[in-house]
Amino acid sequence: MGAKNTRAGCPRSFLNQPALAGLVASPDLPGQAPRRYLARRMKPAKRFTLAAILASMLGGPSAAQSLPEHDQRYGPPRTLNTRRAFPEIAARAEWEKRAQQIREQALVSCGLWPMPAKPPLSAKIFGRVERDGYSVEKVCIQTHAGVCLAGNLYRPRGQGPGPFPAVLNPHGHWSKGRLEDTQLGSIAGRCISLARQGMIAFSYDMVGYNDTQFADAGTTPPAAKTRHHFSADPALQLWHISLMGLQTWNSLRALDFLESLSDVDKSRLGCTGASGGGTQTFMLGAIDDRLAAQAPNVMVSHSMQGGCLCENAPGLRVEYSNMELAAVAAPRPQILVAASRDWTKDTMSVEGPALEKIYKLFNAPEKLRYLRLDFDHNYNQPSREQVYGWFGKWLRGRPDFAPIPEPPFQKEPDEALRVFPDDKLPPDAVTEEQFVNRLIQQYRQQWLELPPKNPPLVERYRARWLPAWKHSLQVGFVEKGLLVQIERTTKLADHTVTQLTLGRAGKGDRVPALLLTPRRDTSGALVVLVHTNGLSAFSDPNHAPAGLAKAILDRGVGVLLVTLFQTGELAEAGRDRDYFKDFFTTYNRTDVQERVQDIITACAFAQSYRGGRRVILCGAGRAGLWSLLAAPAADMLIADCHALDSARDSALLAPDLFTPGLRRLGGFEGVVLLMAPNPLLLHNTGAAFATEVVRAMYQDNHVPERYRAERARLSDDGIAQWIARWAPPK
């Protein structure tokens, strides 16, 4: 149903030349010398007439799909406690595609796409104490320059030189972190038992617990020394800098540390934790295939997703839940131990069977086990014994996964396990502000290290940053399932007016649109024209074109007007959503993210209209900035930059612009580069809107005539002339 959008991988070359590698020569405009421009590699696009689109929608296999009566995106926002359903997955290939998207989302949300460079671990292992069947040591590894991740390493004794399986042990939100030793949970007890069973175990701090601190953490008593609120500043969301991102990075580095040990078998690595440690377990399993087995306990839930900053990265659960994050590990062995008196109480009827369906797609149901014990939220001895049995089978080769009893153990005193018992961090330890500044600088360098100066670098830039754009903006190309509903068509003397509603199958959206086509429709392009006031900005109550829409029509080019989410006649009076409260951006799209998707949906329709058109995207007023964010969906872009000071965080935190990760993408420039070197007109840039990198890109690729930037706002006639210059004939 609908048209396939060829932008699934990258935008098209504007002049529709054959797909060639590198630079080719071709005449640009009559009377001009041949120019050099870039051509994309792409598959031929399927083209549909409007009637064919509707016919396929109404009469084909997807006939049951139709636009909802009301746009389902309006209403109260989702929260961490909103119940989530696992999607219906029919085939392994379908899940593998979705699992890749989930993995990308997890990496992007945590600021790990592209993956930052890994500095040397500079591991320090010291203070060895030998006990019956195991030893315990203190560990400090460097996850970032000046950032020490502290923990304890438990190794088997009396079982030979190894190599041994090794298990990471993130601790969760116990009051004493990795030093917790109570009936409900003992991290040391778990590690001691794993070591006695022939496995190396590493327990490490969450950020702000015990020894893993920034230099400005203060000198409060160790048991209360929990500064677990890193990155609470809303502006850091623009960089995808978050507590969850830092903790996930630390878990990756902890796994690197285990791999670096000579007595560790790299093919037999595991991870287990409960509560927040369970979150870290399934997050690590989702983004890193090195785990051979995992046990995320009392955290894989359809009804509660995690209530801490360290469990909520922007964008992470807009489309996905903890169930899906855990399922990405399939078919690697996984056990879920749930509790009857917390949010995992439905594991036997909801979460477990959902994951089991995925494991069956891999013909590996035996590699998943789920059970529920009658306790409060915990990782107590009976729960640990279940995990010992599971790891015994999959990491140690035991014939079954029967629970392994846990003998009595004696935890070392807290001070004996502390890496910095006097709270004196290493001299090179950085403050939180220093760390953030260094991380921002590193992210800036990552964006600039692949400048798209030539065709191969253009494609490499796109391959690296297009997934980051999709997952940061929470948008997608409409590859299938475009829904088109014709409301009314009126033929006038010099043009035709068609009222439409657009949407996407299964998404619940409704996008009002007005298609204006000239009587002599000789252009091979269609202009998608958007404004903050919706359709009324360029048409009167009778839908007669006005302003810029009329100027474009008068030059023989059709126009698609669109009313975007929460704009024009769709704007809700008194609507006020706090994007920085209750982890809003973890579970919901911001208004601008919804609007960018609406623009992309409109571009998909424009591309498919009457045999296929080149898509010219034009954003007027503040909507010009939204159009910049939708640039990869267009073949040409004209954007009013609203004289924005794009370097100011306060400008990007505005409710109608805020989208997490925008700075990580390189800002508006970084997004625009994803559609370059197609024709680009930026106007009303003012004195502070960044354009230097984009301008250099067009210069370096020998197509400077395709780029134009004006500090002042152009007139309707000036914009229409630019469009007419580049709009190709049929």
pLDDT band at 338 (very low <50, low <70, confident <90, very high): very high
Distance CA 664, CA 629 (A): 13
> Which tens digits make up the pLDDT trace of 30-58?
222 222 233 332 233 333 444 444 444 33
Q: At what angle do helices 92-109 and 243-260 cross, to 10 degrees?
A: 110
**Whether the Cβ atoms of residue 728 and residue 16 lie closer than 8 Å to each other:** yes
For the chain, what are the domain ranges? 6-62+455-726, 124-430
CATH 3.30.2310.20 fits 6-62+455-726, yes or no: no
Q: pTM for the whole thing?
A: 0.91
CA dist list (Å): 158 to 133, 194, 200: 6, 14, 13
**Whether the Cβ atoms of residue 37 and residue 44 lie closer than 8 Å to each other:** no
CA gyration radius, the chain: 28
**Whether the Cβ atoms of residue 125 and residue 137 lie closer than 8 Å to each other:** yes
For residue 130, the surrounding DSSP H or E stretch is strand 124-131
Among 436, 593, 479, 729, smallest CA distance to 73 is for 593
Structure confidence at residue 573 (pLDDT): 62
Structure confidence at residue 36 (pLDDT): 28
pLDDT band at 68 (very low <50, low <70, confident <90, very high): very high
pLDDT at 19 over 50: no
> Which tens digits make up the pLDDT trace of 78-112?
999 999 999 999 999 999 999 999 999 999 999 99
For 124-430, give the CATH class. Answer: alpha beta
Q: Using the structure block, give the residue that is written with the tokens 């929470």.
A: 474
pLDDT band at 492 (very low <50, low <70, confident <90, very high): confident
Q: Do domains 6-62+455-726 and 124-430 have the same CATH topology?
A: yes
383 vs 220, more confident: 383
